[in-house]
Chain A
Amino acid sequence: MGSLLSQLGLECGRKEVKEEERHLRANDREFNLSYEYADNAIKTSKYNIFTFLPLNLFEQFQRLANAYFLFLLCLQLIPEISSLSWFTTVVPLVLVLSMTMAKDGSDDINRHRCDRQVNNRKVEVLIDGELRSEKWMDVQVGDIIKLENNQFVTADLLLLSSSEPLNLIYIETAELDGETNLKVKQALTVTGELEDCIEKLANFNGEVRCEPPNNRLDKFTGTLTLKGEMYSLDNERVLLRGCTLRNTQWCFGLVVFGGPDTKLMQNCGKTTLKRTSIDRLMNVLVLSIFGFLAVMCLILAVGNGIWEYQEGSKFAAFLPKQEGVNAPFSAFLTFWSYVIILNTVVPISLYVSVEIIRLGNSFYIDWDRKMYYPKSDTPAEARTTTLNEELGQIKYIFSDKTGTLTQNIMTFNKCSINGKSYGELLDFSGQRVEINEKTEKVDFSWNNLADPKFCFHDHSLVEVVREGNPEVQAFFRLLALCHTVMPEEKKEGELYYQAQSPDEGALVTAARNFGFVFRSRTPESITVVEMGELVTYELLAVLDFNNVRKRMSVIVRSPEGKLTLYCKGADTIIFERLNPSCSKLKEVTTEHLNEYAGDGLRTLALAYKDIDPKYMEEWKLRHHEASTAMDEREEKLDALYEEIEKGLLLLGSTAVEDKLQDGVPQTIEQLSKADIKIWVLTGDKQETAENIGYSCNMLREEMTEVFIVSANTAEEVRKELQTARRKMRPDGPEEPTVTKSRSGLFCLLKTETVADEPVDGEYAMVINGHSLAFALEKDMEMELLRTACMCQTVICCRVTPLQKAQVVELVKKYKQAITLAIGDGANDVSMIKAAHIGVGISGQEGMQAVLSSDFSFAQFRYLQRLLLVHGRWSYLRMCKFLRYFFYKNFTFTFVHFWYGFFCGFSAQTVYDEWFITLYNLVYTALPVLALSLFDQDVNDRWSFQYPKLYAPGQLNQYFSKRAFVYTVLHSGYSSLVLFFIPWAAMYDTVRDDGKDIVDYQSFALLAQTCLLIAVSIQLGLDTHYWTSVNQFFLWGSLCVYFAVIFTMYSNGMFLIFTSSFPFIGTARNSLNQPNVWLTMLLTSILCVLPVVAYRFLRILLWPTVNDKVRYKVRQDKVLPPAPRRVQARRTSTRRSGYAFSHAQGYGDLVTSGRFLRWTPKSRPALFSQTDSPLAQTQPQFYRTINEGGEPPLSP
């Protein structure tokens, strides 16, 4: 509702008519103002001083609960109906409204502050032929503004000119789409000529026509008309608000969209409010409670009608009838009177308390030191405070791979050079030594260009390099030459690599540290510092990587004129193309490769070949021919490459570790023990994904079978899925068992649930994006779901962000299970938003995932704590709270119902009005809050020890419709006891001095005290974890109750407010009576006794896991063993080690020179002040280059 309203507000603030086309003229404010485009001021705040109260109230009363209470309040103003004083409703309502109002107000003040801060930023604007420093909010559409390096882009701009050659500029879009790599934008040549000449710029009068404001970040269409000429504009020319200018001295831009029209602002606002399943259940329950309330009121109203007819008419001598009120009308009035009295079945404080509890439990997540990651100083954060209890009900986890399971850090771990393996430490007896933090690292200080963060443990390799071993040198030379990495040297000797894949970065960095420093490149040359010597190689050709070739090569001419082809690629591919003379080396290397693969490392084989210059000449000609050929260019090139990459000489192999985050295998093991299914959805290749699957224990050698679905047509995919399914469950039915049901408010939601199908043995499925696209079609999704849900592990690779979301939606739709998506990058946003709960890994790839997530933390392993500890507790607490809350209010209300039969159905309350007002707000508020903030069945270590404890949440066991019915019956019993025991005990009796005690006021006092004691004891029974706060709140509340009644029933209060406190003296006169106390004792015992007996029997005969663990904790009286450190299991079978996570086309880029901008020596001054902030956060100095237009996939 809120968003709707604010959107309305935004909409009204602008124009009513939808803009069809934007038309603006540079430097012509009058012209542009005629269109009334929004200026650059942004407004995210909702209220101002004057609108706050009415708008906020209006918003609040749109909530059903508040509106209901307003309705009650109106009912109470009708004297014929009013059965309670106005304050019984007004006090809670005002309290709730003012609390919400305070929260909304403070939120809005923060927004105002942010808005102000952003709006008041200064930017240089070209006005009347000179540059003036203006506030952001005063910038108008059509203004020309100047941006300097590292400044934020003020509005959506059309780039006019820049300081860089070719009118390029570099921007970082991390805030916009989460990608941290730099992107290039280029101005039109015609505007680029303006350069920074103020005069020219001031006279610039180009007219822009373009699309109306929209939210597409990757698209822009428009035209620029300048001096009668039309130029087309696309996304390449546009700078979006939210980006940051990098590595560019200055640029000029023409404001096209300002403030609310910018793509950034257009992109936000459509947050779908996530609600938990408990929320939905609560809504259903509240509705049924309303129904129940209506039934109760109806019964009492009918009773009243009958009473009026039979008794009331005769009793008129003492109680005259109201004028014009006959029995049916009286019944009608009574109905509403009872609506007021019995409204406590749905107390307003329920909603407030639920919010408070969720907020409190969210704070616990923020405060948890065990989810704080010291390395990046990131605590866990609950960004949404309304979903906590759902964390305890997760059934499916969808995880991204890169940056989530893995650190997205590749480390050069081992290598095999010329048949000798390096990188492993062996002790004297030849045993492997475990490498840990303390192991001595290789000292690279002899190399002043070395990357200080690189670490390696095998000293022998350095020695060999420094000795000048030709094979080893050739090995590293290859690594330094054969790649598509871009160097960046900001200061002399400070090298940063921008690698297209992190593997390459790792390899080039390794070469760098071992003395073969890749220094710079031009389209025609590569400069390398070889053991301190500057060597420039002529780059003759780059034989680029593609998916089929699975290798890349470079052909270089050394300064001595020697021509060499260096090649690296998948072992199988390279081995096929080796010179037969290497067969022995091949065998040894294969052995090493097996070993590396067994360790879960990514391997590459390296080979080289010397080329005859003559042959090269001829080849180059043919290459040129082929690359300019009009048809079958690809094939011709491939054939050429194939021809030259033959007869290679093997150098060795590399092993790069795609480092898993700490504790990932253990976390996955724990979560699967808790019956949570984990699906990995990654943009990575199948091989990489499988590899990671094995190393984090999701795929295991002992699994019965791992199905791989990678087909190219829909029919094949279907067949493969069916085959897999039949293998897992040969006797299973062909058609899935679908349970159709209806749920939600008024049963409007149709749900279909596919039953879980049991299978023998453990299976896993790997499906690639291509097949997934077919499988997600309407007619096949059920097949996919069934097969996938039978598997322990599902890995989807090469999936697009959209498919990630589709998979999540599929499971959500047919499994009716709670899903969680965890990811770190912009490509995970869709699934994070689609899942019930989205978790963002903060730290690595920008903020986009975190910004759209509900919870965020720095490490994947914290997920188990989030779910198994926080989630479980939150769920437990919320369920306990709801059960208890409904119990206490139903009990409270039912007593009124019974009393109705003894007071002529006249809507007379049993309790004092003040008690009714304060019962939920004061007497029982804090103890139940303490219960739901502190309670824990077992502590966190036991929660880890027994992940099975998580199961009740998944099965909705603690709070369901059934539990609710049980609660209602329980309250029914309690209310019977609480009404009829005092009734019978007091019937016709008197005080110990013979005076009255069965008067209305004494009876009210007795009934309310009995009630309060009984519900307090019930709370005590429900509490499993008695902290001092619980004790204090519980006893404190009882004390407060007695203090309050003695105060309210005192002489003073009566004499001051005679009509408000008529209960004077009741407390004194009845609480000194022994039979009053005996009655209280009796009711308490009678309320508690059956509960205790029932619970005792249940624990005795049908203990739940929970009970067993609690019993065990009690028996052992010791802390559980500290979580054991599981050794990552090594599997020895060789898998395809190929994991060259490259994309095609970078060879061309490297040679085209488009990215070759850095000429380090020529302009060092510029970079000295502009440290790239990104490079410093990256653990190793390479970045991922993404091509401009390509949608981001997981690297």
Chain B
Amino acid sequence: MMASNYNAKEEDGHQPAAIGHGGAGTVKNKKPDNTAFKQQRLPAWQPILTAGTVLPAFFVIGLIFIPIGIGLFVTSNNIKELEIDYTGVDMSSPCYNCSQSYSWNSTKPCTCSVPFSLDQPFESNVFMYYGLSNFYQNHRRYVKSRDDSQLNGDKASLKSPSKECEPYRTSDEKPIAPCGAIANSLFNDTLELYYIDPNGSRTAIPLVKKGIAWWTDKHVKFRNPGGNDNLTVVFQGTSKPVNWRKSVYELDPSDPDNNGFINEDFIVWMRTAALPTFRKLYRIIHKKPNMTPTLPLGRYILEVTYNYPVRSFEGRKRMILSTISWMGGKNPFLGIAYITVGSVCFFLGIVLLIIHHKYGNRNHSADIRS
């Protein structure tokens, strides 16, 4: 990039070398410093791949991975999980009717009951999820269609939400709170669970709706504007999301700690999923103090207030009941993967060992022409 190789200094021989002619002895010695860094002699560890290191490594990895894999697999298998698709695609499905006639604005809720039975009891805490498939919560335009400042209780953003929220930014010239496509599409089915006693009577199973969101979300990321008191006043002058039946401050009027932006169902929904098939925590069924299982085996009924339309995009709705372990929910993949990788490692170790024994002396003869 230099414009020219000409340098005014060079012209007249003013390089140190040229000065050296006359004033010998006055110029500083130009001998480079003798440091390990400058002479590229930094002490270093120089590993090379030898049979002595590679083969044991393979065996060790194999030996570590297989037990881990088995452990994971067993753990995952011990988790009890029950999944019920209540989309209502089949004519035979109890929710078929509801799924056919849907409208965001219908005042009359459509309900359907899905019976199911547990053939083994669920112990400890049982978690109830709703799952959606083919739902692109990770679509770029969807993901960015929110205003974190507004959700964090910023009053300015409440009045004029971010542009990212378009087209769900304003409605009737009033700002939407919470704005954006994510909030607008809040999952609004209501799921209730009943245990059918052997004698036929229904017992409602207590579903806890708090403690389902991340602590950080609930306490840091999401905040109601102006604290939690009198949300009606605070949200005055805002409009509810187009698809919502009620305003944000009516999400859970009974509990001021779970209302408005800090409504946990809302928070959970706002944490967008990474993949088009996902499940979100809906309710928790706490274990009972005595030894009885949380959900004994038997017949149950899932009462669905069917509001959420998914048929149009061939989506599916599920209800999942699951226990958990130290490694989370049921997912046999990790266990199988670990076992496979461990075995492959071990096998590869053996193959390499054989090859090494057969051909390994090539290297030793070090017949290098110097």
Show the binding face of A for B, using Cβ within 8 Å: 1-3, 5-7, 42, 44, 46, 59, 83, 104, 107, 111, 114-115, 117-118, 152, 174-175, 241-242, 244, 264-265, 268-271, 273, 311, 314-315, 317-320, 322, 337, 364, 366-370, 372, 374, 376-379, 673, 842-843, 847, 851-852, 873, 902-904, 906-908, 934, 936, 939-940, 945-948, 981, 983-1004, 1024-1030, 1051, 1054-1055, 1058-1059, 1062, 1064-1065, 1068-1069, 1073-1075, 1078-1079, 1082, 1085-1086, 1089, 1092-1093, 1095-1097, 1099-1101, 1103, 1105, 1107-1115, 1171, 1173-1174, 1176-1177
Contact = CB atoms under 8 A, between A and B. Distances in A.
B264 to A, nearest CB: 10
B363 interface: yes
B291 interface: no
A948 B370 contact: yes
B327 A1078 contact: yes
Contact of A1000 (B40, B127, B184, B272): B272
B27 interface: yes
B170 to A, nearest CB: 14
Residues of B contacting A: mostly = loop
Which 8 A-B pairs rank lowest in CB-CB distance, beginning with the nearest?
A1065-B216, A6-B3, A268-B6, A1003-B274, A1173-B21, A269-B4, A114-B8, A367-B38
Nearest to A1098: B49
Nearest to B214: A1069
Contact of B5 (A269, A322, A906, A1029): A269
Contacts of B233: none
Contacts of A367: 32-33, 38-39
Contact of A1114 (B42, B48, B145): B48
Contact of A1065 (B135, B154, B221): B221
A990 B129 CA distance: 10
Nearest to A7: B3
B327 A985 contact: no
A1089 B345 contact: yes
Contact of A175 (B11, B22, B42, B344): B11
B133 to A, nearest CB: 10
Contact of A269 (B6, B39, B142, B341): B6
14 contacts: A3-B3, A378-B17, A379-B31, A907-B140, A908-B140, A984-B337, A988-B330, A999-B274, A1028-B43, A1064-B217, A1065-B214, A1075-B327, A1075-B334, A1112-B366
A334 to B, nearest CB: 9
A1092 to B, nearest CB: 6
Given A111-B8, A904-B139, A1092-B54, 6 more contacts: A6-B3, A118-B11, A847-B10, A988-B330, A1086-B341, A1111-B50
A236 to B, nearest CB: 23
A903 B334 contact: no
Contacts of B74: none
B142 A996 contact: no
B139 A996 contact: no
Contact of A271 (B4, B139, B277, B309): B4
Most buried by B among A152, A374, A903: A903
Contact of B312 (A317, A907, A984, A1108): A317
Given A1027-B44, A1108-B368, A1074 B355 contact: no
A368 B11 contact: no
A1017 to B, nearest CB: 13
B246 interface: no
A993 B324 contact: yes
Nearest to A850: B17
Given A990-B324, A1097-B355, A1114 B50 contact: yes
Contacts of B167: 320
B258 to A, nearest CB: 16
B328 A1075 contact: yes
Contacts of A939: 41
Given A994-B281, A1173-B21, A314 B314 contact: yes
Indicate the size class of the contact surface on chain B.
Answer: 35 or more
Contact of B275 (A377, A987, A1092, A1093): A987
B280 interface: yes
B239 interface: no
Contacts of A1174: 21
B271 interface: yes
B24 interface: yes
B328 A372 contact: no
A1105 B330 contact: no
A1100 B337 contact: no
Contact of B22 (A904, A1064, A1173): A1173
B99 to A, nearest CB: 14
A991 B140 CA distance: 25
A1027 B136 contact: no
Nearest to A1116: B366
B8 A903 contact: no
Contacts of A940: 40
B215 to A, nearest CB: 8
Nearest to B324: A994
| Residue among A114, A996, A1062, A1171 having the largest count of chain B Cβ atoms under 10 Å | A996
B136 A1101 contact: no
Contacts of A843: 17
B72 A364 contact: no
B11 A242 contact: yes
B13 A244 contact: yes
B280 A996 contact: yes
Contact of B185 (A318, A873, A1001, A1171): A318
B231 interface: no
A991 B370 CA distance: 61
Nearest to B16: A377
B237 interface: no
Contacts of A1075: 327-328, 331, 334
B125 interface: yes
A842 B18 CA distance: 11
B368 A1074 contact: no
A379 B27 CA distance: 14
B44 A934 contact: yes
B91 interface: no
Interface string B318-340: 00001011111111011001100
B46 interface: yes
Most chain A Cβ neighbours within 10 Å, of B20, B149, B271: B271
B108 interface: no
Contacts of B15: 847
B177 interface: no
B328 A989 contact: yes
B3 to A, nearest CB: 3
B360 interface: yes
Contacts of B129: 990
B273 A1074 contact: no
B84 interface: no
A896 to B, nearest CB: 12
Given A241-B11, A902-B275, A1064 B43 contact: no
B194 interface: no
Interface centre among B1, B13, B152 (most CB of A within 10 A): B1
Given A311-B313, A319-B139, A1082-B334, A988 B3 contact: no
Contacts of B364: 1111
Given A7-B3, A1058-B149, A318 B366 contact: no
Contact of B48 (A904, A1001, A1110): A1110
Contact of A242 (B12, B24, B39, B272): B12
Contacts of A908: 138-140, 143
A904 B136 contact: yes
B141 interface: yes
A1096 B49 contact: yes
B17 A1100 contact: no
B269 to A, nearest CB: 10
A1146 B48 CA distance: 66
Given A908-B139, A1058-B154, A996 B271 contact: yes
